[in-house]
Amino acid sequence: MPSQSPIYFAKMNNMTDQDFVIGFDLGGTKLQATALDCSFSILATNRKKTRAVAGGEEVYQRIKDCIAELAGLPELKRRQLKGIGLGGPGILDSDTGVIVYTPNLHWENFPLGPRLNEDFSVPVCLENDVNMGLYGEFHFGAGKGFKHVIGLFPGTGIGGGLILNGELYRGTGNAGELGHMTIQVDGPFGAESMRGTLEALASRLAIAKEAAVLAAQGEAPWLLQNAGTDICNIRSGSIAKSIQNGDKSIERIVRRAARYLGIAMGSLVNIFSPEAIILGGGLVEKLEDIYMEESVKAMKENSFTFMSKDVKVLAAALGDDAVVMGAGKLVSQKLDR
Amino acid sequence: MPSQSPIYFAKMNNMTDQDFVIGFDLGGTKLQATALDCSFSILATNRKKTRAVAGGEEVYQRIKDCIAELAGLPELKRRQLKGIGLGGPGILDSDTGVIVYTPNLHWENFPLGPRLNEDFSVPVCLENDVNMGLYGEFHFGAGKGFKHVIGLFPGTGIGGGLILNGELYRGTGNAGELGHMTIQVDGPFGAESMRGTLEALASRLAIAKEAAVLAAQGEAPWLLQNAGTDICNIRSGSIAKSIQNGDKSIERIVRRAARYLGIAMGSLVNIFSPEAIILGGGLVEKLEDIYMEESVKAMKENSFTFMSKDVKVLAAALGDDAVVMGAGKLVSQKLDR
């Protein structure tokens, strides 16, 4: 765990039955604030659209409103808010609570943690949203009971996270960028100057670009008719439905992407010797059978048998609540210190 | 750290000025036992050939003799042996001290730790030799002062090790098999059913197989004349000398291998966000300039700039003493518990 900023954790009282914390999921399109009691039961949830295009300060106001509305609900009136944990996108500094850079929220060096700390007068902690989601799964979902857990979340991009020795592993700050492992030297273009990364080969956008070509060539009639050839319109749901509706070519693309995921999982087994790998994200939610089948097969082919034979590959269990649960847990642990 | 076997660590006295520990490097071709005082100064070293072909029990006798001869040296007569740390090859169980499987020593489930414990009546600890070497570098060599350090050792194969949060990371037991990361889907054949692993693309044998073809085709005259086309005779030394003697084609092969190493290093930066990467092994020792140049360039191209910009890439500093130093340190820490 990184050192704690003094601003943040000035108050560190333990929680009682009458207290609650808020876990917050700050997404590019939606916000979710969830109140959790001291045993992590959900008391209430409030959701809003992010309206990211409105820009930095307005997005902050919406976050603040989302939390204030939740905290003001009748069922929480007699309880006391003790802390706020947030999972946010982009590059952030969990020591200082500053979001360093999130292009889609128009934030650069935005002091989200300190601002919320000032406005709500409670400790705030901020962490990468993928890490928070994995932390939620680790404590309350598919990862319960393990000590070494790897999370992979293929969606528009591919997020990753690491629980090592029972704790989130951050390295010098932003470890766990598992979507940016190279699995194909000189492969398709990815983030920055990278090529052939897992994300460039197996994300939803990587699938969509192949699917769009096949749709344009008449090889995926359902997809062409229902989603078209704009890769931004070829979402996980359309991909799943196109397969259900008989677009065999799309199934082949998805199976290949799931195989690529499994190849990366094999490398991760050899690197970490984990007990469990949790798969989540839009593609796995919509196409779990294909993902489990192909990825486990490829994982076994691409790792030492004695290391992979006991690795559990599990689908994420908490759905949309993973981030808020992890965020609530993390801030409560900081309160306990 | 794994739990300690009660057999091993029955005696856990702290070391005094008059005590010493032995660090042992159990290699496929040579054995090295080194006596270290309580401040890890080298008191004396004894070396023997392994004579692995002799088989399991004879190899054990040679190990025992190597240690006994060292401990019996006049300069150690007044000192007391307090523990033995061993770095060994193959799959091993550091909790029980059993070497599970090392084909080249003809050992399967060989209780090396318990046997030495019985014969020398001191605590013994056993760890993968690559991990021990990295642990030595971490405490006494190139890795001093860092908290998150990755080791990569390209030689006949490619070994790897992980120091995370200041400790050797083992996962469920044998983590750190970094040579077996896939960087080229469907690439050349590697260990078990793996393909396109770093080792299959960039180890000494991977270089030798390309070099042998070019030598056979007349593209590497010095190498052909001096090492021939048997890949087992094309060692790191011959590869280095062939480049020095003008075999340009061999330099191209090595530069490509170093680039592959750097691509894997880029992935490891994205995965771990480490402070330092230590490079060692026969190829790096013989061809350090090429390895540093190509690998750092490829690492930067294949990782996020904000993560790789502060990563130090360092050549291993302890040479042949890395394993014995790490082994001495590890057993002394167990004595301190």
**Where does chain B hold its CATH 3.30.420.40 domain(s)?**
19-137+321-336, 144-317
Instruction: Estimate the crossing angle of helix A204-216 against helix A236-244, to 10 degrees.
Output: 50
With an 8 Å Cβ cutoff, is B109 touching chain A? no
End-to-end, the C-alpha distance of chain B in Å comes to 12
Determine the pLDDT at residue A10: 32
Residue A324, pLDDT score: 98
Nearest by Cα to A329 from A193, A140, A58: A140
Contact A177, A158 (CB under 8 A): no
Question: What angle is formed at CA A190 by the lines to CA B314 and CA A198, rounded to 5 degrees?
Answer: 80
Instruction: Describe the crossing of helices B288-301 and B248-272 by its angle, rounded to 10 degrees.
Output: 50
A144-317 CATH: 3.30.420.40
Dist CA B35 CA B47 (whole Å):
12
Helices (H) and strands (E) in chain A, counts: 12, 13
* Alpha helix ranges (H) inside chain A: 56-71, 112-120, 129-140, 198-202, 204-216, 221-226, 236-244, 248-272, 282-286, 288-301, 305-308, 322-336
Please indicate if any CB of chain B lies within 8 Å of the CB of A181.
yes
- CA A197 to CA A202: how far, in whole Å? 9
The answer regarding whether domain A19-137+321-336 maps to CATH 3.40.50.12780 reads no
A239 and A228 Cβ atoms separated by less than 8 Å: no
A312 touches chain B (CB under 8 A): no
In A78-191, where does DSSP find H-type helix?
112-120, 129-140
What span, in angstroms and rounded, lies between the C-alpha atoms of A271 and B152?
Answer: 12
- Chain B residues with CB-CB distance to A149 below 8 A: none
Chain B residues near residue A178 by CB distance under 8 angstroms: 270-271
**Of residues A269, A293, A291, the one with CA closest to residue A280:** A291
What distance in Å separates the CA atoms of residue A164 and residue A149, rounded to the nearest whole number?
7
Residue A44 burial class via C-beta count within 10 angstroms: exposed 0-12, middle 13-18, buried 19 and up: middle
CA–CA separation, B244 and B197 (whole Å): 28
Please answer whether residues A88 and A26 qualify as being in contact, where contact means their C-beta atoms are separated by less than 8 angstroms: yes
Q: What is the pLDDT of residue A251?
A: 98
Q: Establish if B195 touches chain A: CB-CB under 8 angstroms.
A: yes
What's the pLDDT score for residue A5? Answer: 39
Q: Which residues of A touch B165 (CB under 8 A)?
A: 165, 169
Mean pLDDT computed over B24-34: 94
**How far apart, in whole angstroms, are the C-alpha atoms of residue B270 and residue A174?**
8
Burial-class residue A232 by CB neighbours within 10 Å (0-12, 13-18, 19+). Answer: exposed
How far B244 CA lies from chain A's nearest CA (Å)? Answer: 28
Minimal Cα distance from B148: which residue of A?
Answer: A171
CA distance A223 to A76: 46
**Interchain CB contact of B1 with A (< 8 Å):** no
C-alpha span between B15 and B83 (Å, rounded): 10
H/E element holding B77?
Answer: none
Span B165-220, pLDDT tens digits:
999 999 999 999 999 999 999 999 999 999 999 999 999 999 999 999 999 999 99
Of B178, B183, B194, the CB nearest to A185: B183
Can you list the positions of beta strands (E) in chain B? Answer: 19-26, 30-36, 42-49, 80-88, 91-93, 98-102, 107-110, 124-128, 149-154, 158-164, 167-168, 276-279, 312-315
- Record the tokens describing residue B75, joined without a space: 């300069």
Q: Which tens digit of pLDDT belongs to each residue from B145-165? A: 999 999 999 999 999 999 999
CB contact under 8 A, A178 and B272: no
Q: Is B113 on the interface with A (CB under 8 A)?
A: no
Pairing state between β A80-88 and A19-26: parallel
B277 vs A: CB within 8 A: no
Facing A180 at nearest CB: one of B175, B195, B304: B304
Contact A194 B301 (CB under 8 A): yes
Distance CA B49, CA A13 (A): 63
So what's the ipTM on this one?
0.93
- List, in order, residues 6 or more apart from B263 with CB less than 8 Å away: A182, A185, B183, B298, B299, B301, B302
Q: Beta-carbon neighbour count of residue A322 at 10 Å?
A: 30
Distance between B1 CA and the closest CA of chain A, angstroms: 10
Report yes or no: A176 at the B interface, CB cutoff 8 Å. Answer: yes
Pick the residue of B130, B180, B308 with the most A CBs within 10 A to test the interface with A by mutation. B180
Question: Quick one: what percent of chain B has pLDDT higher than 90?
Answer: 87
Query: Which three-class secondary structure state does DSSP give residue B97?
Result: coil
Cα separation, B113 vs B126, in Å, equals: 6
Rounded to 5 degrees, what are φ and ψ at A217? -90, 5
CB-based contact B172 A274, cutoff 8 Å: yes
pLDDT in tens, chain A (337 residues): 333 333 333 333 467 889 999 999 999 889 999 999 999 999 999 999 998 887 789 999 999 999 999 999 999 989 999 999 999 988 899 999 999 988 778 888 999 999 999 999 999 999 999 999 999 999 999 999 999 999 999 999 999 999 999 999 999 999 999 999 999 999 999 999 999 999 999 999 999 999 999 999 999 999 999 999 999 999 999 999 999 999 999 999 999 999 999 999 999 999 999 999 999 999 999 999 999 999 999 999 999 999 999 999 999 999 999 999 999 999 999 888 7
* Closest residue of chain B to A259, computed from CA coordinates: B185
Smallest Cβ–Cβ distance between B173 and the set A171, A178, A273 belongs to A273
Tokens of B303: 């990782």
Residue A104: per-residue pLDDT: 77
How many angstroms separate the CA atoms of A156 and B34, rounded? Answer: 54
CB half-sphere exposure, B222, CA atoms < 13 A: 15
Residues 79-98 of A with CB under 8 A from B: 91
Does B225 have pLDDT greater than 80? Answer: yes
> Residue B197 carries which DSSP code?
B
Instruction: Give the global pTM.
Output: 0.94
pLDDT of residue B9: 35
The reply to whether residue A182 touches residue B275, judged by beta carbons under 8 angstroms, is no
Q: Which residues of A touch B157 (CB under 8 A)?
A: none
Asked whether the beta carbons of residue A192 and residue B305 sit closer than 8 angstroms, the reply is yes
